[in-house]
Amino acid sequence: MASERVHRGWRLGIALCAIGSISLLGCGGNHYTPVVGSVTLDGQPLDGVRVVFSPDAAKGNTATINCDGPAKDGHYELRTNAVTRSESGSGVPPGWYKVTIFAPETGGRKQPGPKHNIPQRYLHVTKTPLEIEVKDNPEPGAYDLKLTK
């Protein structure tokens, strides 16, 4: 009788492990949404800048990631850079983000914007007025950025 209880307990343990494994497989992997858009300054396409999405903790996004991509002829596509390679990939996890524009250094000196005449408010995550919610099935143009002087 005691051995029957042990076998029954052992079988229950295996069944619970199997159910747990199946549920993990269903939730596995990172979920990234493609983020593609245009970036303009007073209607003119920007080229040679980087578009950066930073998680907006004030709106519940506490992810420890960085999402960015270069703008070429006014178009950009973002990639997620995470702590580990397995958490990095094309697209962006859903949630709210603050958006900044990074103008690379030129001539060995920091020039955060003057080369492109980008106003200072778009260069710093604490000052930017640009906020975007990344979500599945966004409306067309949802990730277009229209900067003004």
The contacts of residue 111 (CB under 8 Å, 6+ apart) are 103, 105
Output the pLDDT for position 8. 52
Q: Give the Cα separation of 68 and 91 in Å (integer).
A: 9
Instruction: Provide the 8-state DSSP code for 31.
Output: -
What residues of the chain score a pLDDT lower than 70?
A: 1-29, 105-116
Check if the beta carbon of residue 79 is closer than 8 Å to that of residue 89. yes
| Residue 29 confidence (pLDDT) | 59
pLDDT of residue 2: 53
For position 14, what pLDDT does the model report? Answer: 43
Please give the pLDDT value at position 5: 52
pTM: 0.74
The single-letter DSSP state of residue 41 is E
pLDDT at residue 117 in the model: 85
pLDDT of residue 104: 77
How confident is the model at residue 111, as a pLDDT? 45
**What is the per-residue pLDDT for 76?**
98
The amino acid at residue 79 is R
